Amino acid sequence: MKTENYILKFDASGKLLWTALNNVSFGGHSAACMLQYYDNHIYFQTGNLSISKLDTTGKFISTLTADSFIPSTAINGIYFKGSGVFSNGDLLFTAVSRGTLTYNSITLVPVVETGSVPLLMLRTSGNLTVAWAKYVNGVGDPAENFIPVTIGNDDGIYVGVEVNSTLTAGTDVITNPGPGSTNYTDGVLKLNESGTPIWLKSVTTNAHVWSVFNNRDGSGVFCGGDFTGNLTLGNFTINPVKGSSFITKIAYNGTFKNAFAFAAGPGSKVKSMATNEQGVFYVGGKLFSRTAPTFSCTPRVANTGLYLAKFTEDPDEAPQPSITRSGIELTAAPKFNEGSIQWHLNGNAIPGAIHQTYTAAENGDYTVSYFYSYDFIPLCISTSAKMSVISVGLAENKSNRFAVYPNPFKSEITLDLKEFTSQTTVTVFDYSGRKLVEKEISNDSQKMDLRFLSDGVYILQFRNPDGVFTKRIVKQK
């Protein structure tokens, strides 16, 4: 049976427009999956050692073929599996190559090691004239039939690698403790526009990088993949409870800027990424388990196969809050200014109780929730454990130690604190726990002007060395 390779063009509705048969005999090598569109032309592999350029009508424009190839194994060819475009219009092609390869006067000799498959990095002009070619040795064959690679705004080359033995870039070194096996140590490698290694960042042996994507705002590159166990990336540690896929962002200087789990549930991978250029990013991936996956706190239908999702650089899940109590004053921790806060009493939201602290107005079980509010992702809510309050009103039993009148009042109240022996802090709260006014008074009778308050019920709190006492007051016309 004759095997032939074609490139196909479809319109937006999926209608086949044309087919182009490879102009060089290649055979059935599905591992050569590179396809690059740039400047109204298509670049793809057309032979064991060839790349061709086509226009959008399917006409072949030019072909680049290696001058010679001496295989180190039975595989008599190179497989192009990734590509990118430099700012000047030059092209980068990446391939796996198991042999000595020559382009013009450039001869590349592989380092032959058990389990290692050198990566070919090839830079050409738009017309496929070779600028340079280099090998990255000491790495393994990408397991998913493509090489995750992108080019940054700085023209740096960023590529996900599986280190088989030892790989060095600048001052960074990754050494696989088990060379010659499939237990590779994955990393992200940066080379400059001339192909010189600059830095190398490890993502450890329990993670795999399947996708690398340049953020076009120039802030760095995103890397996505899958992992098992806890994963540490720079100062970020993530665990599989939140997902078995991960996404991390690395600045052009090699600093990890962010990292989070993605697609919670066993058996998932991030395979590709794109952006709408407005801060929203899209992910194409695979699910390998019929356990229902969770994206941004929202369970999805259990299935296996491909998925499409989206993310932003903003966190979707707020920190886990806790409550501390001093008398009837409740405080949520940690401090949370980046999103929204909501206090609850017996499971019901308290209107207006949206601040870091809340003064309990009733006995019951209090909780507090933290959350981010976005238009483009579902709401993820982090809620504290319950804090029971049973002391509201108990202090009023000692009200013979002070007097507040008139109550209800129209504009001002009189505070009679003759039974107190020290200076007292008097605070007025509304029923959402918001502090409205605070005043220091001595142990005598004083007036307090509250005419600025709207009609309603308020909490008057007295705090001094004798304790904390509360009194409900009512303002009405």
- When pLDDT is cut at 50, 70 and 90, the band that residue 57 belongs to is very high
Which pLDDT score, from 0 to 100, does residue 395 have?
Answer: 47
Dihedral sign of CA atoms 436, 442, 443, 446 in order: negative
Please name the residue that has the structure tokens 């001094």.
464
Q: Are 465 and 422 in contact (CB under 8 A)?
A: yes
Which pLDDT score, from 0 to 100, does residue 380 have?
Answer: 78
Distance from chain centroid for Cα 411: 54
Interatomic CA distance for residues 235 and 246, integer angstroms: 15
Average pLDDT along the chain: 85
Which pLDDT score, from 0 to 100, does residue 469 have?
Answer: 78
What is the tens place of the pLDDT at every residue in 235-291?
988 876 666 888 999 999 999 999 888 876 667 888 899 998 888 899 998 887 777
Q: At a CB cut-off of 8 Å and minimum separation 6, what does 375 contact? A: none
Whole-number Cα distances in Å, 112 to 151, 176, 260 = 28, 16, 37
Which pLDDT score, from 0 to 100, does residue 394 have?
Answer: 47
What does DSSP assign to residue 400? G
**406 preceded by cis ω (within 30°)?**
yes
Q: At a CB cut-off of 8 Å and minimum separation 6, what does 324 contact? A: 330, 331, 333
User: Has residue 341 got a pLDDT over 90?
Assistant: yes
Interatomic CA distance for residues 390 and 362, integer angstroms: 8
Q: Are 9 and 18 in contact (CB under 8 A)?
A: yes
Q: How many CA atoms does the CB half-sphere of 54 hold within 13 Å?
A: 23
Q: How many CA atoms does the CB half-sphere of 217 hold within 13 Å?
A: 12
- Judged on CB neighbours under 10 Å (0-12, 13-18, 19+), 80 is buried
Q: Are 147 and 82 in contact (CB under 8 A)?
A: yes
Identify the three-state secondary structure at position 240. helix
What is the tens place of the pLDDT at every residue in 423-477?
888 889 887 677 889 888 876 778 899 999 998 888 888 888 777 777 888 898 7
Tokens of residue 225, six digits? 């993949």
Q: DSSP secondary structure string, 289-330?
A: -SSPPEETTEE-----EEEEEEE-SS-SSPPPPEEEEETTEE
- When pLDDT is cut at 50, 70 and 90, the band that residue 397 belongs to is very low
- When pLDDT is cut at 50, 70 and 90, the band that residue 376 belongs to is low
Tokens of residue 283, six digits? 């992910």
Most trustworthy range by pLDDT among 2-6, 50-54, 373-377? 50-54
The count of residues in the chain is 477
Tokens of residue 72, six digits? 């180190």
Please name the residue that has the structure tokens 């303002």.
475
Tokens of residue 33, six digits? 């999956």
